[in-house]
């Protein structure tokens, strides 16, 4: 289900988050449960953007929270808790991708066939429609390109941060971003020409 | 001067075919320019400044970038069971889950049993010869 821009997640002050984190670091499950409750939609959304698969996104989100629980004693607060959680989520999504790639005959990044846009009635034009079209086109990108586009363009990470999170060089991150954009443009042009 | 600049210098702007080549080159360079990763060459930028078709492409592409950025606030609802499932799978921080530990102990026990059985069979065989 889509919450949209108008549905606001529970807003909690930063110091309240810090208090919950401190309690969770002492092993307080209830405090960590509150953190999970507060960040569940955000983490799930990031996982969904990266995997383009709701079931896999739920698995990634679950594993990310479990990993965060195990790692929280070592959380030093150098970045915001949400940022730290995002990094773990990206890491888990990447682990899932590797597992899936091992199980598949053709690696996703090499499967570069252009999806047939005729099944999709979305018309680009107004911003909300364009956003839907972009979301749809994003889901058709190879996972490696999608991850870079999502982290760089949607979440505003730097090339260095993207490279570090995905275990690739800055140049490779830039190349993937360009390829991802070229394919996004191709997908969106198909939709526009049909519309 | 890179390959694209050479192509632009060679094709010029005199005919429609040349224009189309320039347009293709410039459009290929739009992402680098707008994402600030590989800025356009002066020749490509000069073409962009004068070509309405490429300018329209640039505007459309900026729209796509805005739509991508707007996805940051486009929150999807997590499955209703996520929180419960996470809480059910938490173990003591810094330790492996008791289930994993049980699996590891079982694996070790099974290995010891197999090794013992093999050793016993060998011993019996050697005794019977």
Q: Are residues A21 and A100 in the same domain?
A: yes
Q: Are residues B81 and B129 in the same domain?
A: yes
> Taking residues B106-126, what's their average pLDDT?
81
Q: A 28-57 residues with CB below 8 A of B? A: 29, 32-33, 36-37, 40-45, 48-49, 54
Q: Is residue A113 part of a domain?
A: no
Which of B87, B92, B94 is closest, CB to CB, to A36?
B87
H/E stretch holding A3 reads strand A2-4
Q: Is residue A115 part of a domain?
A: no
Q: What is the pLDDT of residue B53?
A: 87
Q: Are residues B19 and B62 in the same domain?
A: yes
Question: Residues A166-184: pLDDT tens digits?
Answer: 999 999 998 899 889 888 8
pTM, two decimals, is 0.71
Q: Are residues A98 and A4 in the same domain?
A: yes
Range of B103's domain? 75-129
Q: What is the pLDDT of residue A54?
A: 93
Instruction: Kindly report the CATH number assigned to the domain that includes residue A93.
Output: 1.10.1740.10
Q: What is the pLDDT of residue A145?
A: 93
- For residue B13, what are the contacts with CB-CB under 8 A and spacing of at least 6? B19, B22, B47, B50
A40 to B82: CB separation less than 8 angstroms, yes or no: yes
Query: Model confidence at A15, in pLDDT bands (50, 70, 90)?
Result: confident
Structural domain ending residue among the three candidates A108, A130, A154: A108
Question: Residues B4-27: pLDDT tens digits?
Answer: 454 555 444 445 666 677 888 888
ipTM: 0.75
A177 touches chain B (CB under 8 A): yes
Question: Residues A111-155: pLDDT tens digits?
Answer: 333 333 334 444 444 667 888 888 999 999 999 999 999 999 999
Measured between alpha carbons, how far is A142 from A52 in angstroms, rounded to an integer? 10
Q: Are residues A161 and A96 in the same domain?
A: no
State whether residue A50 is helix, strand or coil.
helix
Q: Are residues B57 and B90 in the same domain?
A: no
The two structure tokens encoding residue A9: 């997640």
Q: Are residues B27 and B68 in the same domain?
A: yes
- Chain A residues near residue B74 by CB distance under 8 angstroms: 2, 4-5, 45, 131, 135
């Amino acid at each position: 289900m889509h919450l949209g821009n108008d549905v606001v997640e529970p807003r909690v002050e930063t110091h309240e988050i810090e208090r919950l984190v401190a309690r969770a670091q002492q092993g307080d499950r209830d405090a960590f449960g509150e953190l999970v409750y507060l960040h569940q939609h955000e983490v799930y959304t990031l996982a969904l953007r990266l995997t383009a698969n709701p079931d896999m996104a739920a698995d990634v989100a679950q594993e990310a929270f479990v990993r965060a629980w195990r790692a929280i004693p070592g959380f030093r607060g150098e970045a915001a808790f949400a940022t730290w959680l995002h990094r773990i989520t990206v890491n888990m999504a990447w682990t899932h991708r590797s597992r899936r790639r091992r199980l598949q005959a053709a690696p996703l990044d090499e499967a570069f066939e252009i999806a047939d846009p005729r099944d999709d009635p979305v018309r680009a034009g107004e911003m909300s429609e364009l956003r839907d079209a972009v979301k749809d086109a994003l889901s058709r990108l190879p996972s490696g390109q999608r991850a870079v586009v999502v982290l760089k363009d949607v979440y505003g990470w730097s090339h260095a941060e993207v490279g570090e999170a995905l275990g690739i060089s800055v140049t490779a991150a830039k190349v993937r971003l360009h390829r991802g954009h070229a394919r996004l443009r191709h997908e969106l042009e198909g939709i526009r020409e049909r519309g | 001067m890179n390959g694209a600049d050479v192509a632009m210098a060679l094709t010029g702007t005199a005919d429609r075919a040349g224009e189309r080549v320039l347009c293709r080159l410039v459009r290929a360079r739009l992402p680098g320019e707008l994402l600030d990763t590989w800025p356009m060459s002066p020749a490509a930028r000069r073409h962009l400044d004068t070509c309405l078709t490429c300018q329209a492409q640039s505007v459309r592409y900026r729209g796509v970038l805005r739509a991508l950025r707007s996805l940051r606030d486009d929150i999807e609802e997590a499955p209703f069971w996520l929180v419960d499932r996470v809480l059910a799978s938490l173990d003591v921080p810094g330790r492996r889950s008791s289930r994993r530990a049980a699996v590891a102990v079982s694996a070790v026990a099974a290995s010891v049993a197999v090794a013992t059985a093999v050793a016993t069979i060998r011993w019996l065989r050697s005794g019977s010869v």
